[in-house]
Structure 1
Amino acid sequence: MGETILITAGGTGGHLFPAYALAAELERRGYDVDLATDERADKYGERFPGREVHVIQSETLRGRSPLALMRTAFRLGRGTLQALSLIRRTKPKAIIGFGGYPTFPPMFAGFLAGVPTILHEANAVMGRANRMLAGRVKVVALGLSGGSGGTVAPEKNVITGNPVRPAVLAAMGKAYAAPKAGEEFRLLIFGGSQGARFFSEMVPEALGMLDDAHRRQLALTMQARAEDLENVRDRLASIGIKAELAPFFTDMAERIADAHLVVCRSGAMSVTELGVIGRPAILVPFPHALDHDQALNASVLKKAGGAWPVAQAELTPARFAETLAQLMDEPERLAKAADAAGSVGEPGAVIRLADLAEHVCRGGDAKDFDKGDNS
């Protein structure tokens, strides 16, 4: 058996997917990798590639009343005790957290137990749970350059990029082929774990505003919540749109690679995967995201010329229909944006983060790693 590294991540795909990617790379290097989270880790259709999954109790801040704060503190405290017990059993050489409140008990327990810790921040702005932990960890790994880890502890920062799953790296090899006039136009729309309902309501109305030629050209793949599927399917069928609908697609990387245009939220991993695969996108930042992190994430691809961010409040059905028709008629513009998106992709992020993990296991810190002493 090899040395153990404990990874901890919240329950969303944006937290779990980079954790899975790192686990697979560390396991390939001979480490035993465990995952600590607060719920089932296979709900996105992928098995955790490491040794074992441990469910640790956690809680999100749900209010400011004394009772709510006491409840949160109790559950986080109980989770910390569970995590301390796990650390005593598995004796990890390092603990790596990928954000979300479920990472707080294992990361804080690691601090109490004297285990070296790495905090990975995927977004362009640091999340609240990570801000609570940043002062106590050894290294802060930033997924998007320009991330705000520096507002907490700049001397701990290392820019690693966001690790992507093997399926994303495989999809990276598919070149973008802009659609020719009159050919099928493959449009992919997804909303992630938050905000899919907006697309379910807006998109059918918008596509109904297209002329017949554009509607016949469209081949739509769209994520919709289970309770919205029948209504969305009926509305699209009534206007003659060919569509494949599902609450979740387990082969999303391949679908991104197959698309001529992607419309989605701008969570950190969506932005990262669009960059690695190299596909043009209309990005609609989730307006209720804490700290407006999705708007800042979207700016990464916008600055490169690979995406067109639009605020949800401004994306009316009429505007979406007009923008879509224009892009369908300008394949060279789409091809240029695909190249631009690909220019900011970081397919080597998982290697760099795994190198950093090994560096910290050997007692290194951010300063030594940045000097290149990471062999």
Structure 2
Amino acid sequence: MTQDAPLLVIAAGGTGGHMFPAQSLAEVMLARGWRVKLSTDARGARYTGAFPKAVEIDVLPSATFARGGIAAKAMVFPRILGGVAKAIRHFLRDKPAVVVGFGGYPAIPAVAAATLMKLPRMIHEQNGILGKVNQVFAKRVNQVACGTWPTTLPEGVHGLHVGNPVRGAVLEKHAAAYIAPGDYPMEILVIGGSQGARILSDVVPSAVAQLPQSLLSHLRVSQQARPEDLDRVTEFYEAQGIQADVRTFFDDIPKRMSEAQLVISRSGASTVADISVIGRPSILIPFAAAAGDHQTANARGLVEANAAVMIPESQLTAESLSEQVTNILSQPDGALMMARAALSVGKPEAAEELAVLVESLAFPETYPAA
């Protein structure tokens, strides 16, 4: 990669919801001959292990009012201003052709610097409702790309639906053959964000234990759990004689999802994208406290396509979940139809479409209609 290659700066926060689509775009842009830098903060830098080695990690100070006490909140603006100043210095030294923000407060310095310097810039919103940082920049960027459609946008802002980019490891499993439930080994994958979800640890094991023996005798569970829940979930499954692999983090989710007959999950935007690209039946439990109830909006596409069942947290019990799992796993033809329906709403081309948007901002003369 030569220093003459155009530079893309990707600004993203330290959660999988922001980092997975950012990683996907980085992979595609590197393949197109661009140089790529990731702008994040110290927290976000801990989540960059899966990014291609060619991506330079640029750590800038940032902060949020959502954490810490009075002293920490008093330092939010100084830290953000310091991050913006540092980003400007970096951009003057190595000018980006385009800056793309994926949301999260660690994205603020780079996107703010690009705005002040009038550099070509865009944001990508993964959820059906803009996050706080993307709300701030929606009217200050050249393009708003949307992962979930429809996305609620501020008045006067027009978004373009590109879908949520998925990592190369997910694309490799695109439309992987689905083995419908039957009298042979079956897998349920339970995921709730990068470290599981407390409510899934509370409810899923009991729900699985209530399944008919005809299903249980063939079943294996892979479940993410928070560190503090790991032992009790593992011990419950062992006591019930249920085969289960319980971990705080799975680094092979695309593989596990492709081998699963059913996915039980939160409805984070990246997870919904993975499910739709690989094509699997799912039971989605939106995070009730998500800002603007955006996880319900994220789940809507799969639910309306009859690819997923949505259970609100307020209605989630071991009994209600066990009933839905039984319905899906005891109807092979229905499960197969759900898997195909999931594929029908997937956008495996999302990263490529986002890459075209990036290049249209950098080289408008080449993309006159963009």
Q: TM-score, normalised by structure 2?
A: 0.93
AA partner of residue 51 (structure 2): R
Q: Deviations over 1:6-33 (max 9, x none)?
A: 1110100111111111111111111110
User: 1:170 aligns to what?
Assistant: 172
Q: How far 1:312 sits from its partner (Å)?
A: 1.2
Q: Which of residues 9, 13, 30 in structure 2 aligns to 1:10?
A: 13
Structure 2 CA distance, aligned partners of 1:179 and 1:24?
35
Q: Please say if residues 195 and 225 of structure 2, whose CA atoms lie closer than 8 Å, have aligned partners that are also in contact.
A: no
User: 2:234 aligns to what?
Assistant: 233
AA partner of residue 313 (structure 1): S
Structure 1: gaps spanning 5 or more residues: none
Structure 2 CA distance, aligned partners of 1:176 and 1:277?
9
Q: How far 1:71 sits from its partner (Å)?
A: 2.5
Q: How far 1:67 sits from its partner (Å)?
A: 6.3
Does residue 93 of structure 1 match 2:97? yes
Does residue 132 of structure 1 match 2:136? yes
Counterpart of 1:345 in 2: which secondary structure?
Answer: coil
Which piece of structure 1 moves more, 190-199 or 227-236? 190-199
Aligned residues: 366
Does residue 108 of structure 1 match 2:112? yes
User: 2:163 aligns to what?
Assistant: 161
AA partner of residue 46 (structure 1): A
Q: 1:80 to 1:343 in 2, by over 3 A?
A: same
User: 2:65 aligns to what?
Assistant: 61
User: 1:210 aligns to what?
Assistant: 211
Structure 2 CA distance, aligned partners of 1:45 and 1:329?
40
Q: Please say if residues 23 and 50 of structure 1, whose CA atoms lie closer than 8 Å, have aligned partners that are also in contact.
A: no
Q: Please say if residues 24 and 50 of structure 1, whose CA atoms lie closer than 8 Å, have aligned partners that are also in contact.
A: no
User: 1:32 aligns to what?
Assistant: 35
Correspondences of 1:206-355 after superposition (within 5 Å): 206-355=207-356
Q: Please say if residues 283 and 309 of structure 2, whose CA atoms lie closer than 8 Å, have aligned partners that are also in contact.
A: yes
User: 1:73 aligns to what?
Assistant: 77
Structure 1 CA distance, aligned partners of 2:289 and 2:229?
21
Q: 1:338 to 1:26 in 2, by over 3 A?
A: same
Q: Deviations over 1:120-152 (max 9, x none)?
A: 011111111100111111111111221123x24
Q: 1:235 to 1:197 in 2, by over 3 A?
A: same
AA partner of residue 344 (structure 1): V
Counterpart of 1:171 in 2: which secondary structure?
Answer: coil
Q: Please say if residues 9 and 99 of structure 1, whose CA atoms lie closer than 8 Å, have aligned partners that are also in contact.
A: yes
Counterpart of 2:172 in 1: which secondary structure?
Answer: helix
AA partner of residue 373 (structure 1): A
User: 1:21 aligns to what?
Assistant: 24
Structure 1 CA distance, aligned partners of 2:196 and 2:181?
29
* Aligned-residue identity in percent: 36
User: 1:373 aligns to what?
Assistant: 369
Does residue 117 of structure 1 match 2:121? yes
Q: TM-score, normalised by structure 1?
A: 0.92
Q: 1:178 to 1:189 in 2, by over 3 A?
A: same
Does residue 83 of structure 1 match 2:125? no
